[in-house]
A and B are shown apart, each in its own frame.
Chain A
Amino acid sequence: MIAHLAESLGYVFTLNVLLGIAAGIAVGYVVGAMPGLTSSIGMALLIPFTFSMDPIAAIAMLVTIYMAADFAGAIPAILVNAPGQPAAAVTAFDGFVMTQRGEAGKALSISLVCSLIGAFISTILLMVSAQAMASAALVFGPAEYFALAAVGLSLIAVLSTGSALKSLVGLVFGLTVVTIGIDPISGASRYLFHWSLIDGIPFLPALIGLFAVSEVFLMIEQGRKAMPEAISTRREASFRNVWPFRRTILRSSFIGYAVGVIPGAGATIASLISYGVAKKLSPTGDSFGRGNPEGIAASEAANNAAVSGALAPLLALGVPGSASAAVLIGGLTIHGLQPGPMLFANDPTVPYSIIIALMVGLPFMVIVGFIGIPLWVRMIRVPRPVVATVVISIAMLGAYASANSSFEMIVTAVFGVIGYLLRKADIHPAPIVLALVLGYMLEANLRRALIAGNDSFFAILSKPIAAGLLFLTLLVLISPLLARRRKA
């Protein structure tokens, strides 16, 4: 490994590759900060430009976009409640509340430092454990995915702030929405009023509507009220600031990496799980969702760690762990490199160059963030009507860009209204996001597991990992009840 690492170092430290990394950071920050434009779209758009580049530079650029986008996704989430990447929705839970309190600078700084730590730890983990973890990912079959989704959904018991009934309403609403479209197992149509719904409600436009557009409605409503006075635009990006959250950051980085490795789970689930766990374990867990910086730390460390995690099955098995990783396969193929079980054996410099490129890119991603924070914070001093106009324009543009289609804009608008009404009813978006992310995984895999087990639920319980996860689900669900009894 060391020999290959050393050889790869030589490939990465060339002008072409370093320029590729710089371009990757610039593009990554832009697509990451634009709600609706995900890293996978940004990477796909640049693939044609890589035709004439040398393979290592091309791939370094693509993975840098992937990581930088996750750094940037938190910026609009914190400033205007419009997550730039889906996973940043979790960051918005606390980040946007902090902005409303005038602590945008602090929130952005914490997000930046925790992103860095999460990305750094997970890249090290990727370097030492890619092959071992990738084989572990294969253990996840339908029964295990179903149980994992159940654990995720049970987090509602922990995530909910306030009324449990209202959280349940949000959860059921989300689960109902994901049943729209063609049934993944039998092919039957469900709530298919028009053929454009055949694939169901697209997740990203719905998310933009729930967060960003509903926020715009609130801004309009409060139009005459003054914006929060920013207490500090000073950047406070220092390790000392996040030192109190060191346990959470470390734990979230490991959770993020592990969840990222499981193909199909991805950064959003990593953020949600790590946020739920942090809330449960933190002494200040009660204030999660009300502007607790530790919530940002948990979310950001995890979603950046998930990026490296998703690269493990890609490099070791050729199995994409996420949409962006799938685009990366396309990028590699163009350069005659087929990721798969033979990549480490045939072209070992490719995986190691990717790892080194990520490491080289990290400090520059931090510098961009560090320089940018005071500028971005100034954004919220802009008069509210202007902010509202800009946010809704970007939200609609992003929705359109996510699939080049006006159908997505309709979804965003409709979910904006739904999100506004739910917020008026004091229903938190967290359970809805949870259901939208996990509903499909839960249903499709439960039904696959039942087909394989000839409709017997015991076939699922007979798998140790699935049984363990389902037991954990039960524990999480009854834990609030137990805690209440202890207090009484």
Chain B
Amino acid sequence: MAFLRTAAFAAAAAACAAPTSAQDGSGWPNGDVTYILHVEPGGATDVLARQLSSGMQQELGVNVVVENRPGGSGARQMAQLLRARPDGQTIGSVTASHLGMFEQTGQFDIDSVEWACNVILDPYLLAVRDDSDIESLEDLVAKAQENPGNLSIAGFGQNSGGQVAWMIFREAAGLEDGTVNWIPYDSVGDAVVATLGNHSEVVIAYPGLVRQHVEAGTLRVLGVMADERLDMLPNAPTYAEAGYDVNTNWQQFRGIIMPSETPIEIQDAVCDAVETIMQTPAMEQYIADAELVPGFMPPEEFRSFVDAQNELSTSWTQ
């Protein structure tokens, strides 16, 4: 681990020598920005980040260099990000999966970074194959109670955001643990495919992953875990409309984090840039094409949102 120590020393030394001028955010960006991602190139989070970075390049007139540090469910990206100076020149991507990683590794926690801003907010939804005899959330509950252990629900991973969303519904519906088998897949996309192939009766997913299948008439959405119907899926009822009142704050988020102790002024400067970019026609078009749900939140709002998410997550997974 000698190399890690050397790197830490180098970073510490560099931090001491750093000029303290750009504390009020007016000096940002002070040169090229590095944007460290916790995912491999090519996925939804990566493409979103690359769109954002090209927008930032145009908006700010500096290079925004995207670096992929996949692995360790985000732990390796965190390690890299925390070695950087807290001056806004290094930012990172974050999704709900980081919260699960904190718990699994015990290496980092919610206070290890600054939660600068949120970009995308995807609600969860429950869907079935179009030829399923489950017509509504009520049918789903009735069928599960009738024959416990006979139904299975596909979703991403264990103790994941999707599983927590399912547990929230299960409690609201009064379903006992074990009445529906939770099948953890490697990604939400895999879970959708397994349900299309009839290997699971129900899937918990995001709007963007099912919209085309709904249009093609192969999947049907039973309920969306949101307060209002989505423009993308106007015929899909919310949980409340379907008769199940749940806390809809639990959503999949994609945002931006920064090294701990990055001044709030710099966080604000970064987030102002992000907010402007999200309102450009090109970015709006991309978000619509990629079937994402925009959900910008500035620093303080994002932090309290994440605190609430974290509380929900630990209360459900422990």
Contact = CB atoms under 8 A, between A and B. Distances in A.
A333 B197 contact: no
Contacts of B73: 182, 198-199
19 contacts: A43-B42, A44-B46, A47-B47, A48-B50, A138-B196, A141-B194, A142-B199, A143-B199, A198-B71, A198-B104, A323-B40, A331-B42, A334-B286, A337-B289, A342-B212, A403-B71, A405-B71, A407-B71, A448-B184
A448 B185 contact: yes
B167 to A, nearest CB: 14
A340 B185 CA distance: 20
Contacts of A43: 41-42
A444 interface: yes
A189 B159 CA distance: 14
Minimum-distance CB pairs A-B, first 8 = A44-B41, A141-B199, A327-B42, A340-B212, A138-B197, A341-B216, A187-B158, A330-B47
Contacts of B158: 185-187
Contact of B75 (A47, A195, A336, A403): A195
Contacts of B260: none
A217 interface: no
A189 to B, nearest CB: 7
A353 interface: no
Given A330-B47, A451-B182, A45 B41 contact: yes
Contact of A334 (B51, B189, B194): B51
B3 A406 contact: yes
Nearest to B45: A330
Given A341-B212, A454-B181, A330 B291 contact: no
Nearest to A52: B54
B interface, over-half SS: mixed
Given A184-B157, A403-B76, 5 more contacts: A47-B41, A138-B197, A327-B42, A403-B71, A448-B184
A139 B50 contact: no
A4 B306 CA distance: 49
A404 B54 contact: no
B314 interface: no
Interface in A131-150: 138-143
A342 B47 CA distance: 21
Contacts of B275: none
A311 to B, nearest CB: 15
A331 to B, nearest CB: 8
B249 interface: no
A318 to B, nearest CB: 6
B67 interface: yes
A304 B54 CA distance: 34
B215 interface: yes
A317 B196 contact: yes
Interface in A323-352: 323, 326-331, 333-334, 336-338, 340-342
Interface string B157-186: 111000000000000000000000111111
Nearest to A181: B72
Contacts of A196: 71-72, 75-76
Contacts, number: 147
B183 A333 contact: no
Size bracket, chain A contacts: 35 or more
Contacts of B26: none
B182 A334 contact: no
A412 B277 CA distance: 41
A174 to B, nearest CB: 20
B298 interface: no
A285 interface: no
B118 interface: no
B59 to A, nearest CB: 15
Contact of B181 (A329, A334, A452): A452
A47 B42 contact: yes
A139 B197 CA distance: 6
B235 to A, nearest CB: 16
Interface in A386-426: 403-407
A139 B199 CA distance: 8
A202 interface: yes
A467 to B, nearest CB: 15
Contacts of A198: 71-73, 75, 101, 104-105
A199 B189 contact: no
A338 B212 contact: yes
Interface string A268-284: 00000000000000000
A142 B186 CA distance: 12
B232 to A, nearest CB: 12
B136 interface: no
